[in-house]
Amino acid sequence: MTGGWAHDFPSSSAVLAEVLSPVATSAVVDDMSAAARRLNSGEFDVLTVYACWFTMTDARYTDEQRAQWARTTPADFREAVAGHLGAGRGVCVLHTGLLCFTDWQDWPRIVGGDWTWGRSWHPAPAAMRADRRPDAVDHPVVAGIDGLDVFDERYCDIDARPDSTVLMSSGGPEGEFPTVWVCDSEAGRRAYSSLGHDRVSLTEPTHARLVRRLLTWVGGGDAATVSRLA
């Protein structure tokens, strides 16, 4: 699921599909109802949300911007995601996916964290580093990945929820904030990475490796399989 505000999603979603191709066959859609139909078919193990669709109610957006980019979250998409998770399938959310679906109260719970409008923010894209958390050393997603250096937007003042396990965080003058987290519960496996602004970020080798591992993990991959992925 892709598309939306302020990013070149047509280009970067194609790059993401290529990055994931060693571990997954992807279908790329930019319409929520189309995504719902795909999910309801039961043929996909993972829903990846790499999009920026939201209601755009903040005063910073113009009427023209809202007319083109604002979206509400249709009931068929909400129900399809709930059914997908209820069937034991996974959800992988990247970058702006945390900002999506602002009219859907359950979305932050599904993602396992929050972008708080009026508080959360990011500097302009720049060289940044994310480091593995010391208590995450045994998690298969980050096995052998001590950290990664990437040119990206560093999301600041975002929050992982208490039932999420933070795997990586990034530090800077603005403070230290979670960058990658996972959730494993009766609600299904879910993962989030705040990275992925564009093709430059997605094709950085260690980042690409991390994304493949996240997708494989949420798809039900066992620890040995996930930790061996290059």
pLDDT recorded at residue 20:
99
* Band of residue 135 on the pLDDT scale cut at 50, 70, 90: very high
User: 143-193, pLDDT tens digit by residue?
Assistant: 999 999 999 999 999 999 999 999 999 999 999 999 999 999 888 899 999
- Residues composing the chain: 230
CA dist., res. 210 & res. 181, Å (int): 12
Which tens digit of pLDDT belongs to each residue from 201-216?
999 999 999 999 999 9
pLDDT digits (tens, 9 = 90+) for 50-76: 999 999 999 999 999 999 999 999 999
Which of 172, 125, 167 shows the shortest CA–CA distance to 146?
167
31-46: pLDDT as tens digits? 999 999 999 999 999 9
User: How far is the C-alpha of 69 from the C-alpha of 181, rounded, in Å?
Assistant: 28
Three-state SS for the chain is CEEECCCCHHHHHHHHHHHHCCCCCCCCCCCHHHHHHHHHCCCCCEEEEEEECCCCCCCCCCHHHHHHHCCCCCHHHHHHHHHHHHCCCEEEEEHHHHHCCCCCCCHHHHHCEEECCCCCECCCCEEEEEEECHHHCCCHHHCCCCEEEEEECCCECEEECCCCEEEEEEEECCEEEEEEEEEEECCEEEEEECCCCCHHHHCCHHHHHHHHHHHHHHCCCCHHHHHHCC
Angle formed by the axes of helices 75-86 and 32-40, to 10°? Answer: 30
Q: pTM of whole model > 0.95?
A: yes
CA separation, residue 41 to residues 44, 83, 167, 190 (Å): 8, 11, 32, 20
Q: Supply angle C-alpha 69, 72, 75, rounded to 5.
A: 145
pLDDT digits (tens, 9 = 90+) for 71-119: 999 999 999 999 999 999 999 999 999 999 999 999 999 999 999 999 9
Q: What was the pLDDT predicted at 187?
A: 80
Q: Which domains does the chain have, with CATH numbers?
A: 2-228 (3.40.50.880)
